[in-house]
Each structure stands twice: as C-alpha cells, then as structure tokens.
Amino acid sequence: MSAKRDLVVIGGGAGGLVVASVAAQLGIDVVLINKEENMGGDCLHYGCVPSKTLLKSASVAHVIRHAEQWGVSVDQPVVDMANVNAVVKKAVDTIQVHDSRERFESLGCEVITGQAHFTSASQIEVNGKTIDAKRFVIATGSSVWVPPIKGADSINYLTNEDMFSLPKLPDSLIILGGGAIGVEMAQAYSRLGTKVTIVELAPRLLSRTDEQLSSILTEVLTSEGVSVKVNSEVVEVLANDNLKQVIFKDGNKLEAEEILFAIGRRAVVDSLALDKANIAYDAKGIKVNRKMQTSNKSIYACGDVTGEMQLTHVAELQAGIVLANMIFKWPKKINYDVIPSVIYTDPEVAQVGVSVEECKAMSHGEVYQFDVAKLDRAITDGNGKGIATILTNKGRIIGAHIVAPHAGELIHELALAVQEKMKVSKLTSLVHAYPSYSQLNKRLAGQYYNDRLFSRWTKKVVAFLWAYF
C-alpha cells in the first residue's frame, strides 16, 4: 500500500537539506531520502570541506618551510598523513552535526536511508516501500566522471572520494585535469611534499576563468615545484611495478606513485528511473526551467543534478528558488549572472559577472586593473602575487576577476555591486579600513577615475578655480 505524503526530497546534499529543513519547519509533511547514512553530500564528505582543510594543513607546512624570510628559524616540517587525515575528519565531523539524521528528525522529517527510484509520475520506491507524494524535489548531486581511457578500469586510481584518507603521503602524483579540483589538490599535495604533475587537455589551466588569472596561478604553481603539462591528451593508463604510468597521444610517458582523476563530474540520474516520471534529462543532468521545475511540473530539481554551476552555494540558491515557487507560490526565477565562483588556491582565484572578452565587445565596456603588489597590506604580508580586474559599462560595475590573497572574500563586495548594478562611485566613496585586503576593491574601482581625474580638461578647470576663487 502506498502512503500519501506532502513532499519527498531525494538527496541529502546542500540543496536537498535546505528544502527539507525549511519545508518541515513550515509544517509540510516531508520525507527525506538519502542513499547513505551520513548526509551532507559530496561537498561535506569528499569536496569543499575536506579539500579546504587539507589546503590549510598544506599552507601551514608551506609557511614553516619559508619561515626564514620573516626572520624566524624553525626545523623543516614533518608531514604525518594520519594526523592530517584526522584534522580533515574532525572538520567534517564538526559540520556533520548540522546535517545529521537526528537534527532533521527533530525538525519533523522522516529520514530514510536507501536508493530511491520513480515508479510513476507521482510515486517513488525505496527499500521496497512505495511512497506517493504531492511534490518531489530531486537533489541527488553529482559523481566523479572518469573518461573511457584505456586501462582505467584495471588500475587503482584516486578520486575525490578517497584522496582525503591516504595511508601515507605519495612520493609522486599525476593529476588528470587542470580545473578547480585539480589545481587545488596540486598545490595542497605539493606543499605537503609530493612531487606533483598536472595534465590538462586544454591549452591552459582553469580554462573557464579569465586567461590572465590562469596564467598568474600557473606561474605560482610552477614556482612551487608543480609540473604543468597542457595540450596533453592521455590515451592509456597502466600499472608498472609499484608505479602507475600515463601514456600520451604523442607517445610520451609519465610515471608516478598515484594518479588522481579530476577531469569532471556527472549528474547522478541513472538510478532514478526518470523516464517513468516523465522527467527530461540529458548527459549534463536534469533539465529544469528558471523556476527549477522539471518537465514534470510537480517535480523540482536543484544542485549538481541540474548540471548548472556545480557549486554548493548555487545548490542553496536553487533550493531557495524551489521553496519560493513550490511552497510560497511566489514566481521567482534564478539568475546565474551574479553568482561568484572561487578557487581556493594560494592566491585564490575569484570571478563574478561578465568575462573580459564580453566586456570589451560592448560599445561602452571598459576594463580596469590594479596590481596586488601595490597594495600595502599585501606588501606587509609578502603576498604580492596577483591582479584584480573590474569591468564596467556606462559607469556601472558588470563584472570582476581577481587572483589575490583572500579573493574569495573580496569578490562578494563586487558581486553585490554587479547584482545591484552599482555605479563605480558607490564603491570608491565607501571607506575601507587601512591596511586591509579589502582596500584592493577601492583601489581597483579608483582606476576608473584616474584618467578622468587627471585629464587635461580637469587640470584646466582646477587652474581656473584656483586663479579666480
């Protein structure tokens, strides 16, 4: 017999948990289904949280190695991966409390551990039980995509699901993929003491970011000992004694103790039997409209499963759109144009709004830059590597791209400016504390006025005022 419910949320990642918690607290009868006992999704267990914790451990080791530049003499760091793993686990466990079964049951959710699939347009089955519901939200996330490279199915390789629990630090590591995960893990393991090589098929790392930012970060990684191979296609991987080997299309070979696949992710849809619910999807993920509705208007989707900007804060934004439309009947549409993205290397890489190329193509588009090396706080900290770019159109901020210390924090002020279509003057008139990294935004915005302020016409006006008043 089927049990009629108000709402079934499939997936206990960021998006699904936001929908389930808010709906339950509003008095909706919610069933939350997660395939694993521990909720929180990949971000908590295999992505954002463990990777940033690992990067912090690596940063500490890096600072110790270079302590002499600050007049401090210390012994070289000894990296114990068991202890590093314990630090990572502690961070995950601390956050896990907020995403626990107990917390969600206390909110009024029925939490079920199991693999759900649709049996009709209004029913799902999980653990042999059929559940009929008025509304559904699919938030099953994404998983690592391993391309069909010859030999990949016959070797033990690493993915984001096991690279945070290695029994020992590998002597050498090949990372296939030069995107966000690839560059973050390259810097982390290199700073911990591993010889790292990044292999990227595209002509440069971080192909979705501004080219100048990519170039600067590549220089930083190279200066720290990371080997970077771009325009390199891997056609085969294999085991060779105690090492693993990659073979390139041009016949060259490369060996390392471990290989990490960080090429991309794919939406988790295969186990859901979406066809039975009349839900359209493709290789990218579930197709949704700007209200986050699927082709079955009673079923919504949010998070990585939609294939749109696979980021935790985007999943949370999408969840808010779902709640507005599904529960409050408030027609709200998502806008991806003002969402910032950040890569948490050192220096960090952040961007929001239009690209430099898009700005230059506009009739009134203008591009301004400020070198991080000229920022006083960067000088005091010895963190002068980087550049900030602001994009304007008719005097309003339409985009920003930063590679700098704390760029992931600095980008939010500029994201607000883009979202609110602020004039540049709004940013320059805001007082920023000295010396702080936030002054980078003020200095950057100030570049817009440099040529205007010190123009020949302005000097004539000043001369006139000075002479007669």
CATH code: domain of residue 257: 3.50.50.60
The β-bridge relationship of strands 253-256 and 387-393 is: unpaired
State whether 130 and 11 are in the same domain: yes
User: Are 41 and 88 spatial neighbours (Cβ–Cβ below 8 Å)?
Assistant: no
How many structural domains are present in the chain? 3
Cα 330 to Cα 119, 322, 333, 419, distances in angstroms:
30, 10, 10, 20
Return the SS3 of 204.
coil
State whether 212 and 240 are in the same domain: yes
State whether 74 and 193 are in the same domain: no
Q: Two tokens at 289? A: 């409209």
State whether 239 and 211 are in the same domain: yes
* CA separation for the pair 174, 410 (Å, rounded): 32
**In the sheet where 195-199 sits, what is the strand order?**
227-229, 195-199, 172-176, 258-261
For 173-215, how does the pLDDT look when each residue is reduced to its tens digit (9 = 90+)?
999 999 999 999 999 999 999 999 999 999 999 999 999 999 9
> What's the confidence (pLDDT) of residue 2?
54
Q: How high is the mean pLDDT in each 10-residue block of the chain (469 residues)?
A: 83 96 97 94 92 96 93 92 95 93 95 97 95 97 93 93 92 97 97 98 95 96 98 94 93 96 94 96 96 97 95 96 95 94 97 96 96 96 94 96 97 97 94 96 91 75 81
Contacts 24+ apart (CB under 8 A), 60-64: 61/191, 61/192, 61/193, 62/191, 62/224, 62/346
State whether 366 and 391 are in the same domain: yes
> What's the confidence (pLDDT) of residue 281?
96
Q: Two tokens at 66? A: 């270079």
State whether 275 and 400 are in the same domain: no
Examine residue 29 and state whether it is found in any structural domain, yes or no. yes
Kindly provide the b/e burial profile for residues 251-287, where b requires at least 16 CB atoms within 10 angstroms of the residue's own CB.
eeebebbbbbbbbebbbbbeebbbeebebebeeebbe
Q: Two tokens at 357? A: 């190329």
User: Are 305 and 266 spatial neighbours (Cβ–Cβ below 8 Å)?
Assistant: no
Return the SS3 of 209.
coil
User: Are 187 and 180 spatial neighbours (Cβ–Cβ below 8 Å)?
Assistant: no
For 15-53, how does the pLDDT look when each residue is reduced to its tens digit (9 = 90+)?
999 999 999 999 999 999 999 999 998 899 999 999 999
Examine residue 319 and state whether it is found in any structural domain, yes or no. yes
- DSSP per residue, 344-403: -SSSEEEEEES-HHHHHTSTTEEEEEEEGGG-HHHHHHT----EEEEEEETTEEEEEEEE
Examine residue 191 and state whether it is found in any structural domain, yes or no. yes
Phi/psi for 165 (5° steps) reads -140, 35
State whether 16 and 129 are in the same domain: yes
State whether 186 and 270 are in the same domain: no
User: Are 418 and 397 spatial neighbours (Cβ–Cβ below 8 Å)?
Assistant: yes
Q: Two tokens at 156? A: 């033990």
State whether 28 and 115 are in the same domain: yes
> What's the confidence (pLDDT) of residue 9?
98
Q: Which domain does 68 fall in, by range?
A: 3-143+266-337
